[in-house]
Amino acid sequence: MQIETKCLHEGYERKNGDPGALPIIQSTTYVFDSTQHIADLFNMPTECMYSRFANPTVDAVEKKIAALEGGVGAMCTTSGQAASLLSVLNLCRAGDSILAVSSLYGGTINLFAISLKKLGIECIFVDPEADGDALEAAIKPNTRLVFGETLANPALNVFDIERFAAFAHKHKIPLIVDNTFPTPILCRPFEFGADIVVHSTTKYMDGHALQGGGVIVDSGNFDWANGNFPEFTEPDESYHGVVYTREFGNMAYIIKARMQLMRDFGCYPAAHSAFLLNIGLETLAVRMERYCKNALAVAEFLDCSDDVERVSYPGLPSDPYYERAKKYLPNGCSGVISFDIKGGRDRATRFMDALKLASREVHVADIRTCVLHPASMTHRQLNDEQLAAAGIDAGMIRLSVGLENVSDIIDDIKQAFDASR
């Protein structure tokens, strides 16, 4: 099946007489004929037992997302943050470190730099364009993973997945990629060597600004038995001595995430949330195509505007990431544009307040056009140095182009430029 078809047909298998739409299985629990059947499920979790870590509606969505990314399995979470957190905790414990590029979503930087530190896990940040020597210098014997973001929110630099995958694999550790902005429609990081993908499904996947969520997807390609990950090859005392690599083969990572972390932490979405997410996924391919088309037109307009200092959109030939985007994002660069307005921070807020169609909101990848000022909102906690490392100027505006007619979007921007001068 091609990816457009997968959006509609993967995940939920309809048998004779089944509902046409994915049913919402609203139940905390599931009943079985025998004690032995349940005991067997503890050995091999092939059916749902309890909705803190598995539910049939969510399961169908997990299967669909795994198919879209080309992975062996997926696990949904209640937010993108929870997905990033669990993707790391599945590999790290106090005393370990991780290596992440500095151009990440602000919430991820917080999580890695501050909250993980409180748990005893150190994050070493590197410049995404750092040369090989600088990368080697940043790696430590206790580094358990490398983390990057395909298309960084909001700096919009394109992450060189292949280079970082080779670097991680040389050190026998996996590469985790946050693929939220491109979605699997525009980029499938596993095809370039990434091992684990995470998403905030709150964004394009949900697509209608209805509900938050996240997902972790396992490529099934990483060798967890390479000696670096004893938690995968030694008995888990919390799970009747299961050895993940032996029992679950190339599903070891995603099953461990569910049967150990989700079981213990319980940040699992409700069936109804998964139902809504599935509706978003059904039209994802069609919507991404239009987001890309609209955003490119708006980026071209901004690029020619006298009110703009600089535009970041890797689909523009003048963008420093244009060539790399041709490799990783050949079908479009998604719907988000960052630009620095002439006049700095003050003009940026005047411009934002003057918009009539585009809304001011703490969101991105909404179905409607929306704007946000990272320096005073999502990245408020970062100092100027961290802002610069994340590629953010005080006058930067993050414009999330929606699915309106593009001429209406451009007209709104024009009138707000005039009003803010």
Ligand X SMILES: *Cc1c(COP(=O)(O)O)cnc(C)c1O
The residues binding ligand X (CB under 6 A) are 79-81, 105, 107-108, 149, 153, 178, 180, 200, 202-203, 212, 214, 364
Task: Please state, in angstroms and rounded to a whole number, the distance separating the CA atoms of residues 196 and 35.
Answer: 35
Minimum distance of ligand X from residue 27's CB (angstroms): 25
Structure tokens, 223? 């060798």
Closer residue to ligand X (CB): 336 or 416: 336
Minimum distance of ligand X from residue 344's CB (angstroms): 25
Minimum distance of ligand X from residue 31's CB (angstroms): 33
Task: Please state, in angstroms and rounded to a whole number, the distance separating the CA atoms of residues 307 and 294.
Answer: 20
DSSP string, 79-136: SHHHHHHHHHHTT--TT-EEEEES-S-HHHHHIIIIIHHHTT-EEEEE-TT--HHHHH
Closest CA to 191 of 200, 180, 179: 179
Closer residue to ligand X (CB): 200 or 273: 200
132-100-189-197 Cα dihedral, nearest 10 degrees:
150
Minimum distance of ligand X from residue 397's CB (angstroms): 16
Closer residue to ligand X (CB): 178 or 366: 178
Task: Please state, in angstroms and rounded to a whole number, the distance separating the CA atoms of residues 101 and 127.
Answer: 6
Minimum distance of ligand X from residue 199's CB (angstroms): 8
Minimum distance of ligand X from residue 149's CB (angstroms): 6
Task: Please state, in angstroms and rounded to a whole number, the distance separating the CA atoms of residues 186 and 145.
Answer: 24
Preceding peptide of 128 cis, ω within 30°: no
Q: Are 259 and 244 in contact (CB under 8 A)?
A: no
Minimum distance of ligand X from residue 234's CB (angstroms): 32
Closer residue to ligand X (CB): 105 or 301: 105
Closer residue to ligand X (CB): 79 or 420: 79
Closer residue to ligand X (CB): 211 or 349: 211
Closest CA to 349 of 382, 309, 383, 376: 376
Minimum distance of ligand X from residue 114's CB (angstroms): 15
Q: Are 315 and 322 in contact (CB under 8 A)?
A: yes
| Sign for the pseudo-dihedral over CA of 209, 215, 221, 223 | positive
DSSP string, 255-313: HHIIIIIIHHH--PPPHHHHHHHHHHHHTHHHHHHHHHHHHHHHHHHHHT-TTEEEEE-
Rg, C-alpha atoms of the chain: 22
Three-state DSSP class for 421?
A: coil
Closer residue to ligand X (CB): 207 or 212: 212
Closer residue to ligand X (CB): 312 or 420: 312
Residue of closest CB approach to ligand X: 80
Task: Please state, in angstroms and rounded to a whole number, the distance separating the CA atoms of residues 402 and 370.
Answer: 7
Minimum distance of ligand X from residue 336's CB (angstroms): 9
Minimum distance of ligand X from residue 101's CB (angstroms): 12
Minimum distance of ligand X from residue 140's CB (angstroms): 25
Closer residue to ligand X (CB): 25 or 365: 365
Closer residue to ligand X (CB): 102 or 153: 153
Q: What angle do CA 297, 397, 408 make, to 5 degrees?
A: 40
Structure tokens, 397? 């505006």
Q: Are 351 and 420 in contact (CB under 8 A)?
A: yes
Closer residue to ligand X (CB): 109 or 406: 109
